[in-house]
Amino acid sequence: MTILDRSAIDGAAPGGSRERTTAAPASGTRQDGVVRATAVGALQLEAGGALPEVELAYETWGTLNADGTNAVLIQHALTGDTHVAQGEGDEPGWWEALVGPGKPVDTEKYFVVAANMLGGCYGSTGPSSLDPEGVPWGSRFPFVTIRDSVRAEARLADRLGVRAWHAVLGGSMGGARALEWAATYPERVRHCVVVAIGAYSTAEQIALAQAQVLAIRQDPHFNGGDYYGGPTPVAGLGLARRIAHISYRSEPELNFRFGRRGQGAENPIEAPGHAAERGRYQVESYLDHQAAKLVNRFDANSYIAITEALMSHDVGRGRGGLVRALAKTKAEFFLASVNSDRLYFPEQSDELARALPGEVPVHSIDAKIGHDGFLTEIGQLGGELRRKVFTL
Ligand SMILES: CC(=O)SCCNC(=O)CCNC(=O)[C@H](O)C(C)(C)COP(=O)(O)OP(=O)(O)OC[C@H]1O[C@@H](n2cnc3c(N)ncnc32)[C@H](O)[C@@H]1OP(=O)(O)O
Ligand SMILES: N[C@@H](CCO)C(=O)O
């Protein structure tokens, strides 16, 4: 295992880097919230083709106990990373309300692992990584699925000495990854927590994803995916993020928050001359901001790779359909949806619950903002998770 050297892994990738501690921990020493990477070997891919050498980046918190029963895998969403919770003195993580000392996923009791998705740009092998000849994969990076990432993650588990997870949990695409773990490795998942996603990507979810992928592909700087070392497709990636972000938030939230107001002194109606010079509505400025933030931290090819992996999400594929696929799982499931989610509708979590063996309730996260409630309001699940999953 190596401590992550982003310069070697990301090549000339724009954005996508997170400054983290790089000092190697002494063997066996606990070091919370520090990005490391490990090689997991060559990977044959579900859709064909192979990656000759795969590395997965990950962070850990806490310590694996002697009988290996306290390991927890937390799976990030589409543009998420491995930083679920605060490490030693650094910035908070994206599920800070859930993970940490004394929190529902108590890092004094559990050994928590978070891995960057295969195809990503936070340290795992992805399109911006260097191929064996030292050239960024770019357009040659193969199509990977959620299942491919889960199979690579299983090898990471082997290397960490984790035979079975006490729990695998995730929201949105992280939930898809958690569900795939339970279906692919029934013996290795005791609890599976799936938040704000259903059993498969629906036609509408695929449709929204296609628009995002095309926004990037049609950027003149995309160059078929081989843009490293040159201008990058920031306009396309920014447009993709705008499309996505609208779907992450609810219509009432946008309306209440921004209404028809202009941004600051900008007036969207009284344009001075050319239409392109008109002022912006507040909501346009907000989306501009969300787009700018993403293009500064994410690689466009990774966005495509992971989005297409999420389009492939279908736990029943090749397993005789949903019910038969889920009948083979052995995990205890904990499902939750966000009541205002207009991307992964609560009904899709209900459908997943019905297809699972036994009676599985769907917990409801009460949020006004929509899908992103699985990030901002995750604390609402803390009590139920302590009672049902994290009982140590
Ligand atoms: C599970 C995962 O791994 S995902 C990883 C975490 N996800 C991300 O980081 C994705 C990007 N971020 C997000 O999706 C969201 O910010 C969340 C869900 C994390 C948090 O949501 P919220 O707290 O509701 O933040 P919100 O959507 O309101 O955005 C606030 C930002 O918009 C800016 N903003 C608000 N109004 C305007 C406006 N009119 N014009 C310009 N910018 C504006 C704020 O200044 C703030 O900027 P900052 O983030 O740079 O501080
Ligand atoms: N904000 C989340 C939403 C997708 O679930 C992300 O960027 O990954």
Average pLDDT over residues 89-97: 92
Do residues 39 and 26 lie in contact, with contact meaning Cβ atoms separated by under 8 Å?
Answer: no
**What is the percent of the chain where pLDDT is above 90?**
88
Indicate if the pLDDT at residue 1 is higher than 80: no
C-alpha 31/C-alpha 26 separation (Å) is 9
C-alpha 381/C-alpha 366 separation (Å) is 10
Indicate if the pLDDT at residue 242 is higher than 80: yes
371 tagged catalytic: yes
**Higher pLDDT among residues 179 and 11, named by residue:** 179
313 tagged catalytic: no
Indicate if the pLDDT at residue 234 is higher than 70: yes
For residue 285, the ligand 1 atom closest to its alpha carbon is: 40
The edge-to-edge listing of strands for the beta sheet with 165-171 is 2-3, 36-44, 50-61, 111-115, 71-75, 165-171, 189-195, 332-338, 362-365
Indicate if the pLDDT at residue 372 is higher than 70: yes
**What is the percent of the chain where pLDDT is above 70?**
91
Q: Is 75 in the pocket of ligand 2 (CB under 6 A)?
A: no
For residue 248, the ligand 2 atom closest to its alpha carbon is: 3
Which domains are assigned to the chain?
Answer: 2-202+315-388 (3.40.50.1820), 206-307 (1.10.1740.110)
Average pLDDT over residues 37-44: 98
- Does the annotation list 90 as a binding residue? no
pLDDT of res. 87: 86
Q: Is 338 in the pocket of ligand 2 (CB under 6 A)?
A: no
Give the mean pLDDT of the chain. 92
**Higher pLDDT among residues 24 and 58, named by residue:** 58
Q: What is the pTM of this model?
A: 0.94
Structural tokens at position 337: 């949806």
For residue 290, the ligand 1 atom closest to its alpha carbon is: 32
Indicate if the pLDDT at residue 198 is higher than 50: yes
* Cα→Cα distances 267→48, 124, 276, 285, Å: 53, 44, 13, 12
Residue nearest to atom 37 of ligand 1 (CA): 286
Structure confidence by residue, pLDDT tens digits, 4-14? 332 332 333 43
For residue 11, give the 3-state DSSP assignment.
coil
Structural tokens at position 134: 């030292």
Average pLDDT over residues 319-332: 98
Structure confidence by residue, pLDDT tens digits, 108-125? 999 999 999 999 999 999
Q: Is 248 in the pocket of ligand 2 (CB under 6 A)?
A: yes
Q: Which of 76, 245, 313, 371 is catalytic?
A: 371
Average pLDDT over residues 77-102: 94
Q: What are phi and psi of 317, to 5 degrees?
A: -60, 125
Q: Is 345 in the pocket of ligand 2 (CB under 6 A)?
A: no
**Which ligand approaches the C-alpha of residue 96 most closely?**
1
Amino acid at 24: A
Structure confidence by residue, pLDDT tens digits, 280-304? 999 999 999 999 999 999 999 999 9
C-alpha 44/C-alpha 100 separation (Å) is 36
Amino acid at 377: E
Burial class of residue 46, CB neighbours in 10 A (0-12, 13-18, 19+): middle
For residue 78, the ligand 2 atom closest to its alpha carbon is: 8
pLDDT of res. 273: 66
363 tagged catalytic: no
**Which ligand approaches the C-alpha of residue 369 most closely?**
1
C-alpha 158/C-alpha 93 separation (Å) is 25
Structural tokens at position 201: 């990507």
Average pLDDT over residues 335-344: 98
Q: Which of 172, 250, 312, 340 is catalytic?
A: 172
Q: Work out the pLDDT band at 30, boundaries 50, 70, 90.
A: confident
Q: Is 285 in the pocket of ligand 1 (CB under 6 A)?
A: yes
- Centre of ligand 2 to C-alpha 119, Å, is 16
pLDDT of res. 278: 87
Average pLDDT over residues 154-171: 98
Q: Is 372 in the pocket of ligand 2 (CB under 6 A)?
A: yes
Q: Is 79 in the pocket of ligand 2 (CB under 6 A)?
A: yes
pLDDT of res. 28: 59
Indicate if the pLDDT at residue 22 is higher than 50: no
pLDDT of res. 275: 67
pLDDT of res. 270: 77
Give 240's contacts (C-beta < 8 A, 6+ positions apart): 211, 212, 213, 215, 216, 300, 303, 307
Range with lowest mean pLDDT among 4-13, 66-75, 76-85, 122-131: 4-13
